[in-house]
Structure 1
Amino acid sequence: MGGGDITLGIDFGTSNSAAAVLRDGAVRMIPVEGGDETLPTAFFFDYDSRETLIGHAAGAALIEGREGRYMRALKRVLGTPLMHEPRQLLNERLTFVEIIGRFLGRLRAAAEAELGQPVTRVLSGRPVHFHEADAARDDAAEADLRAAYEAAGFGQVDFLPEPEAAAIAGGPPERGLGLVVDIGGGTSDFSLYEAGEGGVRTLVSHGLRIGGTDFDRALSFELVMPHLGRGGMLRREMGEGLLEAPTALFAELATWEKIPFLYSPQTLRMVRDMKGLAVEPRPFARLEEVLVSELGHDIAFAVEAGKIAANGRERRGSADLGVIEPGLQVAIEEMALAAILAPFAERIRAGAMETLQMAGASPGDVARVTYVGGSSLLGQVKGAMQAALPEAEHVFSEVFTAVAAGLAMESAARGRGRGP
């Protein structure tokens, strides 16, 4: 079989990515790092070794405290002007298109090593909407992702909405309609589908720009940022009275993709000025340490770990911020988790109902709800969906690999002559 006969299915995710092909009628996941079937969508630019680390190695370098720049959630930058702004990283000036291209090139190289032949065609997943409220930016985001695939060496690039790929992987429901609820790191996507000739037929797809990184941002902003100065009072530089510390900095520090842009002399000067004017300087001293030592992603990982723990059996977790100040812990209890995430869960429920309305379907028509995406594991998401669709069967698919598997199946079907 020549290289042109293989189309690789790639699920390029906000937090994790995966790749697959269909061989001998079965989905074959590509081992992408140390035998793992998923690769964290992350980079670490090591200042000492001058290496660019990708995936688990990037996270390990951050945890080890190595000197460098960590980046994650770059999928959320697609379609913004930041994608094409060159920036100095180690010995090169690179755009985010080129950076993402290197990540996709790693997936391509892993596939070629596994399959023993060149791979130059890809069927990529994409959210239903990268930017739901801006059609022009949505188109720009797909164009950016296409350019990144081309930078990775792919000559033919096609796209399929991620929940439609997950529906293909899950197969048709035995009766009625099926609904895919795909809650990833950056978006929430829905596909309503039914049994079709030889597989599934998508009736309608819908999407929201809400995902796990938004959950983490809200938890960090509400629970962690007060320990770094959010809500703190500052003396006026001129005159009497107090002002509350501006919130924009804390919102950006709580946002995965914006963290790397805060490590600037201007931001550090602003924080030091706030510390000098603060009624309570200690939280701002912690914030200063975060910027000086570039600990923003350490906070984000700690919040993510606390969220997962609070969603588990113990129903409680904490964000361990000992890297900022010895012994600093921020509790994340189940009740606080539920309260902070309730607006997101309600928006996801409403998005699912909007999907049904777009198809002229009612909740009673849905026989099966299939969840994919790591953030679908949150109890608040499933609880909201069960309340909205109480008569349906609620099942979890292979939440981290279902999209890649469906892309592989669809690429093979297209290769046999079934068009998109």
Structure 2
Amino acid sequence: MAMFTLAIDFGTSNSAVAVHDGSAVRRIPVAEGEDTLPTAVFFPADKGAMRIGQPAVRALIEGEEGRFMRALKSILGTALFHEPRLIAGRRRTLAEVVTAFLADLRTRAEARTGLRFTRALSGRPVHFHNDPERDARAEEDLRGCYLGAGFTDVAFMFEPEAAALAAQGLTEGTGLIVDIGGGTSDFSVFRVEEGRVRILASHGLRLGGTDFDQTVSMSHAMPLLGHGGALTRSMGKGLLPVPNAVYLDLATWARIPFVYSPETRRLVADMLKHAVDARAIGRLQKVIGEELGHSLAFAVEKGKIAANSGANDARINMAFIERGLAAPIGAASLEEALAGQRAPLRMAMEETLRMAGLGAAAIDSVVLVGGSSLMGLVTSEALALCPGARQLRAEAFTAVVDGLAIASRPA
């Protein structure tokens, strides 16, 4: 009897599962008929059952009392991942939250297929972190979560290499996978030879869509909450700059749940007493007090997407903070905000080619994967590096899980 392996793309922003039945890849619709679901959880304040995916997002949008969390993958390999926190009336670690999320995926996959899964092939970025020790710790953290979720045999595969397997039908010759996800950017050079994919090199860096969101939030939205402003001194003359840390945390998806601490509330209250622009700091106090951080992050993400589509009159709608409040964002201001992230992407692609021992002219096709590969700076940098290559789009949100399923095909 064939032993089936569950292919799992546990992503920073979205997740998906699939299985290879021996003849073809079968994506498993684990949420409302969709092939993917948001990597998000919600713990109701009344201590009800944890919700994942779109129901978690809906609970946040509808203003239900509770704790919303997203981008948990970004915290793998850090001390914060194992630090107990009070979440919906109970102390839990983020490791327990991720374990519960993966266990839910496994239960749903088994219910949809009628199969029992004890083996998992999980995608992972080439580098969770730039530091090798922290990178290894992140994989062990994730392995521990899979084991806690009921899997007994867990293997990992680099996400761009999985995407290369899925791209086999798209291209021939030598290709470059450009996989820009929510938390990392990953690259693989591959060659299709006699119908088989051979990986020549893989590389990656910790930069992704959530970093784009953070940059846009800091440059466009946070100034309306007092970022960049000044405070009067308690004693003496002169002004002090408004502290930066609270804004960085509020602009970082993975850190938003932890900004609602008593210490932060006291800090913001003191900032308000000394604010030169009390109205702006008052908005910040409302965001912290009413826990509107994720609503703001979704608004920033929506504005970013609109500006990336070419709209010059897009806005980050912040009316939930103050009636009529909005931050203008257009293609030009988005480009200016993200300009500093072009060089790391370009250098990472160049390094991948160097590791493969190839020049840009040897690349026949650039295959774009991941939701954030839709960003204009990604496509333009790939085109500038490999102007003679065809630019192809794989299934942005499912190429990795498809490739994982191909790699786990039963013997």
User: What TM-score do you get using the length of structure 1 for normalisation?
Assistant: 0.95
2:104 matched residue in structure 1: 106
Residue correspondence of structure 1 range 191-270 to structure 2 within 5 A: 191-196=188-193, 198-270=195-267
2:375 matched residue in structure 1: 378
Residue correspondence of structure 1 range 303-322 to structure 2 within 5 A: 303-322=300-319
Query: 1:240 and 1:315, CA in 2 relative to 1: closer, same or farther beyond 3 A?
Result: closer
The alpha-carbon deviation at position 91 of structure 1 amounts to 4.6
SS in 1 for 2:182: coil
CA distance in 1, matches of 2:188, 2:339: 23
Q: Cα deviations across residues 298-347 of structure 1 (Å, max 9, x unaligned)? A: 11000000011111253442111111111111111100111111221231
One-letter amino acid of the structure 1 residue matched with residue 344 of structure 2 = R
Q: Any conservation in 2 of the 1:163–1:191 contact (CA below 8 Å)?
A: yes
Query: 1:278 and 1:90, CA in 2 relative to 1: closer, same or farther beyond 3 A?
Result: closer
SS in 1 for 2:127: coil
1:85 matched residue in structure 2: 83
Once superposed, what is the RMSD of the aligned Cα atoms? 1.3
Q: Any conservation in 1 of the 2:4–2:21 contact (CA below 8 Å)?
A: no
The alpha-carbon deviation at position 349 of structure 1 amounts to 1.6
1:344 matched residue in structure 2: 341
One-letter amino acid of the structure 1 residue matched with residue 354 of structure 2 = Q
CA distance in 2, matches of 1:162, 1:155: 21
SS in 1 for 2:12: coil
2:389 matched residue in structure 1: 392
CA distance in 1, matches of 2:252, 2:266: 21
2:164 matched residue in structure 1: 167
CA distance in 1, matches of 2:324, 2:170: 51
Tell whether 2:19 aligns with 1:21.
yes
One-letter amino acid of the structure 2 residue matched with residue 116 of structure 1 = G
The alpha-carbon deviation at position 172 of structure 1 amounts to 6.7
CA distance in 1, matches of 2:313, 2:119: 45
SS in 2 for 1:138: helix
Q: Which ranges in structure 2 are unaligned for 5 or more consecutive residues?
A: none
Identical counterparts, % of pairs: 52
Q: 2:323 aligns with which of 316, 326, 329?
A: 326
2:117 matched residue in structure 1: 119
CA distance in 2, matches of 1:166, 1:189: 10
CA distance in 1, matches of 2:63, 2:146: 31
1:145 matched residue in structure 2: 142
Q: Any conservation in 2 of the 1:167–1:406 contact (CA below 8 Å)?
A: yes
Deviating more after overlay: 50-59 vs 171-180: 171-180
The alpha-carbon deviation at position 175 of structure 1 amounts to 4.8
Q: Any conservation in 2 of the 1:172–1:178 contact (CA below 8 Å)?
A: no
Q: Any conservation in 2 of the 1:372–1:400 contact (CA below 8 Å)?
A: yes
Residue correspondence of structure 1 range 30-41 to structure 2 within 5 A: 30-41=28-39
Q: 1:96 aligns with which of 77, 94, 97?
A: 94
CA distance in 2, matches of 1:201, 1:238: 67
Q: Which ranges in structure 1 are unaligned for 5 or more consecutive residues?
A: none
Q: Any conservation in 2 of the 1:172–1:195 contact (CA below 8 Å)?
A: no
SS in 2 for 1:37: coil
Q: Any conservation in 1 of the 2:47–2:89 contact (CA below 8 Å)?
A: no
CA distance in 2, matches of 1:247, 1:19: 39
Q: Cα deviations across residues 39-93 of structure 1 (Å, max 9, x unaligned)? A: 1001111113633111101110110011111110000000001111122223532
CA distance in 2, matches of 1:160, 1:293: 41
One-letter amino acid of the structure 2 residue matched with residue 140 of structure 1 = R
Q: Any conservation in 2 of the 1:72–1:257 contact (CA below 8 Å)?
A: yes
CA distance in 2, matches of 1:312, 1:147: 40
Q: Any conservation in 2 of the 1:181–1:372 contact (CA below 8 Å)?
A: yes
SS in 2 for 1:171: helix
CA distance in 2, matches of 1:323, 1:275: 20
Q: Cα deviations across residues 92-117 of structure 1 (Å, max 9, x unaligned)? A: 32211111011111211121012102
CA distance in 1, matches of 2:149, 2:90: 17
